Amino acid sequence: MGAENTMPVTSGAAEEIRVESLLKIFDARHVLDELCFSVAAGESLVVVGASGEGKTVLLKHLIGLMSPDAGRVLIQGIDLKTASPSESIEIRKKCGMSFQEGALFDSMTVFENIAFPIRRHTRRKTREIAERVSQCLSLVRLEGIEDRRPAELSGGMRRRVGFARAIALEPEILFFDEPTTGLDPVNTAAIGRVIDHLRRELGVTVITITHDMMLAFRIADRIAMLRQGKFLIDTDPENFRRSDLPWVRAFLEGKLPEGEEDAL
Amino acid sequence: MNPIRWLEIIGTFALEAFEELGRFFVLLFQAAYWLFRPPWDVREWFRQMVRVGWDSIPVIFLTCLFTGMVLALQTYQGFQRFHAEGFVGSVVALSLTRELAPVLTGLMAAGRVGSAMAAELGTMRVTEQIDALYTMATPPVQYLVVPRVLASILMLPLLTLIGDGIGIVGGWMVAAGLFHANTFTYWEKTFQYLEINDITSGLIKAAFFGMILAGTGCAKGYFTTGGAEGVGRSTTAAVVTGSLYILLSDFFLTKVLF
């Protein structure tokens, strides 16, 4: 079962993210095993894989929340591990991350949550902040909830507010950790539409971790499958759909590959 | 039990203790680093000062009032035996300013404020709110730890000063009200032997205790693992460790300061 890479590592556009021989070991298990790939500016990479394969670990390395045991992650040419605190802050201002459970500040209202990065990093006036907050909320179909607290929201709403907060600073790179898990089909479509809009209209680079193949096919320029610490396949959606690799077929058809019943 | 096993247990305990102490100092050094770098979130600093200082006044008031009262009660009865009742005011004032007010304020604040810090930061850690801060280009230590440590260092001496005053008044209430001591003599003896150094060194100790309790509470919360159970463990550990560090450091601080 060999890896299949039918896409060039980068397209003609400038390289936004570069991952070189990324290694992460937990309890002697190679969660990321010398993983290499890169993402061009404006490109949308979707990483899929079974639960526990290390997708979230990969995402945390890309945003700098985890340090690799070996290898490096370069965002716009800057190595996150060796960057100075001010360099690191400048890079992170250009990135937005939407967490699986929203990770909203529960001591703040929805408005304060979304306004937080704007207040922190810009000198916008109160009226401009309010406008941007309501713009972000309407993008995720949640108008009029500015005064509510995270505890008063459903799981799906919290996720979408987290999404709105991630795009508040108009980032150049967006990371999504399972953006549609647990959402109803209408809101799943809305999230897909927003990601699509950000990518196509604003040229935002997007890295998404998901199990949702419908979303993956909608937003991806490339789909990669993480398996045993490496990309089993890294290709465009059409080639991914046509792939004969057993694990890809299993993922697309929702069944275990033959002879792998004990693997999960 | 196998002696090797004993060595293993002692080694594990020592390693854990050093690891914990290391985390405490690393976090404090990081807080010192970020304190002098913009942006300065002054509103958050004031918010924490209100929580640590203003909100603790009732607890410190009652603690120091009754400590001063019981101190006067004990010393008056004891000193009566050798006709030294006139010195009760001095004993109460010196005990409170030099030792009891800073230590009791530190211990009460460790229970009230240190535990709240550990619980708050611990919950933020397990619900990825600290990770979210980081991804929003906001150093979590700068936003969360700096205001708490700073507020505690500034507020604990003020609370101690209040405690000093309230405790001395409590002592006078017992001496004058219960034992009919002469009010003039009580206050005269109080200020006759009380030096400014007694008060300032008590306040310096309180500032150290503030740093210790906030550093312990923040470190316990910041490095929480293990979900809701982990938050509970961190909260308890913040109070126990914070109180222990306060009592241990009290001896060395007293040795250096007096």
A27 and A140 share one domain? no
- Give residue B80's pLDDT: 86
Contacts of B123 in chain A (CB under 8 A): 106
Distance between B118 CA and the closest CA of chain A, angstroms: 15
A4 and A85 share one domain? yes
Q: Is the alpha carbon torsion for A98, A99, A105, A110 positive or negative? A: positive
Residue A261 lies in a domain: no
A5 and A134 share one domain? no
A154 and A178 share one domain? no
B130 to chain A: closest CA residue: A103
- Give residue B240's pLDDT: 95
Domain end point (choices A127, A146, A164)? A164
A3 and A53 share one domain? yes
- Give residue A185's pLDDT: 85
Residue A258 lies in a domain: no
Cβ-defined contact of B134 to A106 (cutoff 8 Å):
no
CB-based contact (8 Å) between B38 and chain A? no
CB-based contact (8 Å) between B195 and chain A? no
CB-based contact (8 Å) between B244 and chain A? no
> Using CA atoms, how far apart are residues B131 and B121, in angstroms rounded to an integer?
12
Mean pLDDT for chain A overall: 88
CB-based contact (8 Å) between B127 and chain A? yes
A167 to chain B: closest CA residue: B136
Q: Which two tokens stand for residue A237?
A: 């959606």
A130 and A178 share one domain? no
A72 and A155 share one domain? no
Residue A75's H or E segment, with its range, is: strand A70-75
Contacts of B129 in chain A (CB under 8 A): 103-106
> Using CA atoms, how far apart are residues B82 and B63, in angstroms rounded to an integer?
29
Interface A–B counts its CB contacts (< 8 A) at: 55
Domain end point (choices A128, A145, A164)? A164
Q: Encode pLDDT of A212-253 as tens digits.
A: 898 999 999 999 999 999 999 999 999 999 999 988 898 888
Contacts of B134 in chain A (CB under 8 A): 63-65, 92
Name the domain count of chain A.
2
From the list B123, B129, B131, the residue facing A65 with the nearest CB is B131
Spatial strand order of the sheet with A230-235 comes to: A95-98, A173-177, A205-209, A44-48, A222-227, A230-235
> Using CA atoms, how far apart are residues A235 and A223, in angstroms rounded to an integer?
6
Contact A37, A231 (CB under 8 A): yes
From the list B123, B134, B137, the residue facing A93 with the nearest CB is B137
Top pLDDT among B233 and A8 is at B233
Contacts of A169 in chain B (CB under 8 A): 136
A86 to chain B: closest CA residue: B137
> Using CA atoms, how far apart are residues A16 and A94, in angstroms rounded to an integer?
11
Range of lowest pLDDT (A34-38, A135-139, A190-194, A241-245) = A190-194
Q: Which two tokens stand for residue A222?
A: 């490339």
A180 and A240 share one domain? yes
- Give residue A264's pLDDT: 46
Beta strands A173-177; A95-98: pairing state: parallel
A121 and A90 share one domain? no
Residue A264 lies in a domain: no
A181 and A74 share one domain? yes
From the list A97, A103, A117, the residue facing B129 with the nearest CB is A103
- Give residue A139's pLDDT: 85
A109 and A214 share one domain? no
Q: Please check the confidence at residue A3 and state whether its pLDDT lies above 70.
A: no
Residue A43 one-letter amino acid: E
- Give residue A52's pLDDT: 86
- Give residue B120's pLDDT: 96
Contacts of B39 in chain A (CB under 8 A): 120
CB-based contact (8 Å) between A104 and chain B? yes
A241 and A142 share one domain? no
Spatial neighbors of B230 by CB under 8 A, at least 6 apart, are B122, B126, B224
Quick one: angle between helices B101-109 and B227-257, nearest 10?
170
- Give residue A237's pLDDT: 94
Contacts of A85 in chain B (CB under 8 A): 37, 139
From the list A60, A106, A120, the residue facing B136 with the nearest CB is A120
Residue A77 lies in a domain: yes
Q: What is the pLDDT along chain B (258 residues), one digit of tens a residue?
A: 788 899 999 999 999 889 989 999 999 999 999 999 988 889 999 999 999 999 999 999 999 999 999 999 999 989 988 888 889 999 999 999 999 999 999 999 999 999 999 999 999 999 999 999 999 999 999 999 999 999 999 999 999 999 999 999 999 999 999 999 999 989 998 999 999 999 999 999 999 999 999 999 999 999 999 999 999 999 999 999 999 999 999 999 999 887
pTM over 0.90: no
> Using CA atoms, how far apart are residues B238 and B113, in angstroms rounded to an integer?
10
Q: Please check the confidence at residue A10 and state whether its pLDDT lies above 70.
A: no
Q: Please check the confidence at residue A1 and state whether its pLDDT lies above 60.
A: no
pLDDT band at A5 (very low <50, low <70, confident <90, very high): low
CB-based contact (8 Å) between B137 and chain A? yes
- Give residue A11's pLDDT: 46
Distance between B13 CA and the closest CA of chain A, angstroms: 22
> Using CA atoms, how far apart are residues B187 and B192, in angstroms rounded to an integer?
8
Q: Is the alpha carbon torsion for A118, B148, B124, A156 positive or negative? A: negative
What is the DSSP code string of A203-257?
A: --EEEEE-S-HHHHHHH-SEEEEEETTEEEEEE-HHHHHH---HHHHHHHHTSPP
Q: Quick one: three-class SS letters along A119-158? A: HHHCCCCHHHHHHHHHHHHHHCCCCCCCCCCHHHCCHHHH
From the list B39, B129, B135, the residue facing A97 with the nearest CB is B135
Residue-range definition of the domain harbouring residue A213: 1-94+171-253
From the list A89, A104, A105, the residue facing B137 with the nearest CB is A89
Range of lowest pLDDT (A72-86, A137-151, A186-200, B182-196) = A186-200
Distance between B222 CA and the closest CA of chain A, angstroms: 14
Task: Using DSSP, state whether A12 is helix, strand or coil.
Answer: coil
Contact A225, A49 (CB under 8 A): yes
| Ramachandran class of B80: left when φ > 0, alpha when ψ lies in -120 to 50, beta otherwise | alpha
A26 DSSP 8-state letter: E
Residue A45's H or E segment, with its range, is: strand A44-48
